[in-house]
């Protein structure tokens, strides 16, 4: 399968509900689901290379597999929220539970990049999760309960600035300026990662803009030292409840997941196995073969 199918799930909220889009690869009736959840300003097509590799590996071994890559609400093909205060981890986790209820997997594995990993920690750490939401194996991509302040400052400089671009290449160049920490990519690889990030500006000019709701920045602006400390404590509580076999991936140059936090995560909760990739910061994109192979081996072998 060279292209995924686009599906939707209805999710409740206080304003009457919203639709979340998700991209589905592999066998649509498979009871083994790998859920891949993207980072803060990204979308589900980030995982195209990884999803195809997972499906190919499963097929070669006679395994049935479905890889599902949602566009978290406010991004990609999903609805934008009427109330921007809903753009927070607990609400995203509730949406993922609605999605999993629709998918009804017997076996659930989760890969989460940055924000997607935080959502994964919440879901995997649920004390009385329904059967369809019990995570078997968990991949946390460059994220832990502690988010370094310098990373928050860096993200705050670009979050909500969706811009206007004359071409895909101009957009790719602009995105690379804030995402070079993703590590080495060929021009073709980066352009492929950029295209799903764009949509028409809508003013008749033919120009492009980023896909997400600029209001994502609103909850981010009101983070205080006190609220960050409270969130950190809650995330450690969730992490310590996780029973899934856990792989923690870290970009060796990451400014978001510190070596200290990563080491702590290997010694408590699920006692994650730590794997670092040299020459990469925040966050690995699973385009490089060594990154892809590490995830495929952990989830399917």
Domains by residue range for the chain, with CATH = 5-150+225-300 (3.40.50.1820)
DSSP letter, residue 209: E
Using DSSP's 3-state secondary structure scheme, residue 245 falls into strand
Spatial CA neighbour of 41 closest among 73, 69, 75: 75
pLDDT digits (tens, 9 = 90+) for 117-170: 999 999 999 999 999 999 999 999 999 999 998 898 899 889 999 999 999 999
Residue 281 Cα distances to 39, 141, 202, 218, angstroms: 14, 11, 34, 26
Predicted confidence at residue 1, as pLDDT, reads 57
**pLDDT over 70, % of the chain:** 100
How many angstroms separate the CA atoms of 136 and 139, rounded?
Answer: 10
How many angstroms separate the CA atoms of 232 and 229, rounded?
Answer: 5
Buried b / exposed e across 116-139, counting CB within 10 Å, b at 16+?
bbbbbbbbbbbeebeebbbbbbbb
Lowest-pLDDT range of 20-24, 53-57, 229-233: 229-233
pLDDT digits (tens, 9 = 90+) for 265-298: 999 999 999 999 999 999 999 999 999 999 999 9
pTM score, two decimals?
0.97
Which two structure tokens, joined as six digits, stand for 62? 């006679």
**pLDDT over 90, % of the chain:** 93
Q: How many CB atoms lie within 10 A of CB 203?
A: 9
Q: Tell me whether strands 66-71 and 32-37 are parallel, antiparallel or unpaired.
A: parallel
Kindly report the three-state secondary structure assignment for every residue of 99-128.
Answer: HHHHHCCCEEEEEEECHHHHHHHHHHCCCC
Predicted confidence at residue 237, as pLDDT, reads 98
Q: How many CB atoms lie within 10 A of CB 224?
A: 8
How many angstroms separate the CA atoms of 152 and 217, rounded?
Answer: 12
Predicted confidence at residue 167, as pLDDT, reads 97
Which two structure tokens, joined as six digits, stand for 300? 């399917």
Indicate the length of the chain as a whole number: 301
60: Cβ–Cβ under 8 A, 6 or more apart, which residues? none
């Amino acid at each position: 399968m060279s292209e995924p199918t686009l599906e939707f799930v209805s999710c409740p909220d206080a304003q009457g509900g919203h639709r979340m889009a998700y991209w589905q690869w592999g066998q649509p009736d498979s009871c083994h689901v790998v859920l891949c959840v993207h980072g803060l300003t990204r979308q589900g097509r980030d995982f195209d290379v990884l999803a195809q590799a997972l499906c190919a590996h499963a097929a070669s071994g006679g395994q049935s597999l479905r890889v599902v890559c949602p566009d978290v609400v406010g991004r990609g093909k999903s609805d934008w929220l009427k109330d921007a205060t809903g753009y927070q981890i607990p609400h995203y986790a509730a949406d993922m539970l609605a999605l999993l209820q629709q998918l009804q997997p017997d076996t659930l594995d989760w890969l989460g990049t940055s924000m997607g990993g935080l959502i994964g920690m919440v879901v995997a750490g649920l004390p009385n999760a329904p059967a369809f939401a019990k995570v078997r194996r968990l991949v946390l991509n460059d994220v832990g309960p502690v988010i370094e302040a310098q990373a928050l400052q860096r993200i705050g400089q670009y979050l909500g600035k969706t811009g206007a671009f004359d071409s895909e290449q101009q957009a790719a160049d602009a995105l690379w300026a804030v995402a070079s920490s993703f590590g080495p990519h060929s021009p073709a690889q980066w352009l492929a990662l950029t295209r799903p990030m764009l949509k028409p500006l809508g003013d008749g000019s033919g120009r492009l803009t980023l896909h997400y709701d600029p209001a994502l920045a609103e909850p981010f602006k009101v983070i205080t030292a006190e609220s960050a400390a409270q969130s950190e404590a809650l995330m450690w509580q969730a992490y310590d409840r996780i029973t899934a076999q856990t792989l923690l991936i870290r970009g060796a140059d990451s400014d978001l997941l510190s070596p200290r936090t990563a080491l702590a995560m290997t010694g408590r909760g699920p006692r994650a196995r730590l794997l670092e990739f040299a020459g990469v910061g925040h966050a690995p994109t699973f385009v490089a073969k060594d990154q892809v192979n590490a995830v495929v081996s952990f989830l399917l072998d």
